[in-house]
Amino acid sequence: MEFSAENHNKDREHDEESFSYAAQIVNSYVLPMSMNAAIQLDVFEIMAKAGPDAKLSPNEIVAQLPTKNPEAPSMLDRLLRGAWNARIRIPREGPEVQPCFQHRNDEPHHFGKLVMNNILDAYKGFVQHLNQVIVDIGGGLGVSLRFITSKYPSIKGINFDLPHVIQHAPPIPGVEHVAGDMFQNVPKGDAIFMKFILHDWSDDDCLKLLKNCYKAIPDEGKIVVVDCMLPDVPNTSSGGERNEPNKN
């Protein structure tokens, strides 16, 4: 039994390490795209002109940008947090980029599978919804619900997304594909699942969406959110380079 437990722990550690590296690979496009946007908008130039000891807020930087988007300060704040976590510094001669991870030749390719396996391994709340309906908001082609209903066959799933997405969704046993706009209304169910959705939207949009979700579930219903979180203080340690899955 001790040998089996030891092997199980080693397998779990290997899976979590693989998940961490896969997350880095999948999200590796975010940094160059963010930096390209910042360079095109002269964000780094504005910061450099303010002087080495200046501390500009996102609002102060946005005031010098050619935009009237009310969400711009919040968006810029997230961009700069990402730059800091990626160890980008802004010297006078321009930004210097230090890679936040090293490429490995044995990176896993099925990131979505790793994510859902981690979720189903860590989160046991789906057991409370056997013989009930779970609605996946922004579920794409229904991959998440396919994993959930495969592990819990008595759960019925509703995969909800925009019409042009749903039209390409393949048939999945126990899952109904429904097209619509989540900011208008969402299908009714006993629980709502959202994976990597809320971080894409402003606080006002998130509030509107969550209100629609609240209307769609019963009093004892549940909203399960899986998403990225920014730390209050950027983590610049080497351990912070990898986004370990939070199982709390």
| Residuewise pLDDT in 10s, the chain (248 residues) | 454 555 556 666 666 676 666 666 766 677 788 788 888 888 888 888 888 788 888 889 999 988 888 888 888 887 887 776 665 555 544 444 333 333 333 333 356 677 888 899 889 999 999 999 999 999 999 999 999 999 999 999 999 999 999 999 999 999 999 999 999 999 999 999 999 899 888 888 999 999 999 999 999 999 999 987 766 665 554 444 444 444 34
Domains located in the chain, CATH noted = 30-85 (1.10.10.10), 111-226 (3.40.50.150)
Give CA separation, 41 vs 71, 82, 191, in Å. Answer: 15, 17, 42
Among candidate residues 8, 14, 168, 199, the one labeled active-site is 199
**Is 164 annotated in the active site?**
no
Q: Which residue has the tokens 């969402």?
A: 186
Its pTM stands at 0.64
pLDDT given for residue 5 in this prediction: 52
Is the four-CA dihedral 54, 60, 65, 71 of positive or negative sign?
positive
- Answer yes or no: are the C-beta atoms of 111 and 22 closer than 8 Å: yes
For residue 1, the tally of other CB atoms under 10 A from its CB is 5
With a CB cutoff of 8 Å and minimum separation 6, the contacts of 118 are 15, 16, 19, 245, 247
DSSP secondary structure letter of residue 173: T
Measured in whole angstroms, the distance separating CA 104 from the mean position of its chain's CA atoms is 22
